[in-house]
Amino acid sequence: MISRYTLPEMGNLFTDEARFAAWLEVEVLAVEAWASIGVIPAEHATAVRQGVPAVDADLVARINERERVTDHDVAAFVDVVQEAIGPPAGHWVHYGLTSSDVVDTALCLTLTRAVDLLIETSGALVGVLKRRALEFRDTPMVGRTHGIHAEPTSFGAKLALWCLQADRDRQRLLTARQGIAVGKLSGAVGTYSNVDPAVEAFVCKALGLTPVPSTQVVARDRHAEYLYACASVGATIEMLATEIRHLQRTEVGEANERFAAGQKGSSAMPHKRNPIKSEQLSGLARVLRGHLGAGLENVALWHERDISHSSVERIILPDASILAHYVLVRATSLIDGLDVHADRMLENLDASYGLVFSQPVLLTLVAAGMTRDDAYRIVQRNAMAAWDQRKPFRLLLEADPEVTLTPAELDDAFSLERSLRNTDRIFAALDAVGA
């Protein structure tokens, strides 16, 4: 992932140094595991732990140089580490293991750390959505379907529904963590033919992972599930970003991204204040979805293992993790700083001449004894006239001899409070969300 979208907390998990440090920890723990069951002399395990090289740019360079000879990254890594530790203790490094024992276990460790950060960051987004939903609980606005005025809602209800969806994303991340926080040290085809199961148990316990049966590799449906959780985060953020983009349109003007002092919206037009953060989030969500497709294709490998997934994962797993983290942080900031214009929301609600109350009028006519089809025809006729003549819907109804409703019944049908009287149901669900 390019540095523009990489925040250090997540990006640092996927550096070469971090990758080799994870490999090294798996290798050293495996030596200590062999020593714990009496296969390796205890003093050799101690010497390995004490003699491991520092994982820095110099070590990375040495491994890369060695790989140009071996054409195998793990073999190069083992050669360099064994050389750094020296004989005889160094000879025990990688004893009984296959490359995937190290690489897959270390990758799952890294992804577990990544998903922990995503869960934490997702919680921050849930928290700010919940706070702002309660802030605008009683701020009425028009609800739109197909982009057209429908019925009244509140901006708080809109934010509350976003919060509930973001919390479902957080639950999906927690589920994905269960699937990815695993390890395997079971040898070339997963049969433990050259490695004692106790070694796997020892290493996984030390790393906080669950040992699982596998072939030579950890099953890739686990990684696909993780990528789905990341893609789902992106989809939710794209949803709210798209809505904010619409609300910021000049003709709507109900909410806008915070515009900082010194910020420029256009290099040519000084008046512009564009929804650039929301547009950026919408675009990055497309990339996250693309990574999921590749992850699903990685599930099908030949027999007990091939490496068709390996090159793909070197790109998509770091990138998906980094992007999911980035969009969560940016979306949290966006919602936290969102400028909301309640007066404009009310103005737009009134801009359709009261047509947002057409359904209560319809239902009141039906309740008064009219057939639904007749009531629909009468209400629709007056609604179309309100649009065409730009006249208040209620005045047209009052002048229609077929509308026999009393002023009190019309008052109730045109009541904003009536329209929003049951939104407490939405906020009751929000109360159950821990932020």
pLDDT digits (tens, 9 = 90+) for 301-347: 999 999 999 999 999 999 999 999 999 999 999 999 999 999 999 99
Cα separation of 30 and 91, whole Å?
Answer: 13
**Cα distances (Å, whole numbers) of residue 432 to 119, 126, 163, 428:** 18, 12, 11, 7
SS3 153: strand
**Cα distances (Å, whole numbers) of residue 170 to 100, 118, 125, 426:** 30, 8, 10, 19
Cα separation of 56 and 159, whole Å?
Answer: 46
- How many CA within 13 A on the CB side of residue 26? 32
Chain segment 170-192, per-residue pLDDT in tens: 999 999 999 999 999 999 999 99
- Whether the pLDDT of residue 149 is over 80: the answer is yes
Looking at every residue in the chain, the average pLDDT score rounds to 96
Which residue type, as a one-letter code, is found at position 65? E
- Whether the pLDDT of residue 1 is over 80: the answer is no
Q: What is 355-413's CATH superfamily?
A: Fumarase/aspartase (C-terminal domain) (1.10.40.30)
Q: How confident is the model at residue 5 (pLDDT cuts 50, 70, 90)?
A: very high
Chain segment 345-359, per-residue pLDDT in tens: 999 999 999 999 999
Q: According to the model, what pLDDT value does residue 435 have? A: 64
Domain boundaries, the chain: 1-95, 98-196+208-352, 355-413
CATH of domain 98-196+208-352: 1.20.200.10
Chain segment 370-401, per-residue pLDDT in tens: 999 999 999 999 999 999 999 999 999 999 99
Q: According to the model, what pLDDT value does residue 259 have? A: 83
SS3 content of the chain, % helix, strand, coil (to 5): 65, 5, 30
Mean pLDDT score, 196-220: 97
Catalytic residues: 146, 266
CB–CB of 316/294 below 8 Å? yes
- The phi and psi torsions of 9 (rounded to 5 degrees) equal -60, -40
Q: What is 1-95's CATH superfamily?
A: Fumarase/aspartase (N-terminal domain) (1.10.275.10)
pTM (predicted TM-score): 0.94
Chain segment 222-279, per-residue pLDDT in tens: 999 999 999 999 999 999 999 999 999 999 999 999 887 888 877 788 888 889 999 9
How far is CA 84 from its chain centroid? 41
Other beta carbons within 10 Å of 101:
30
Q: Which residue from 356, 12, 387, 359 is spatially nearest to 153, judged by alpha carbons?
A: 356
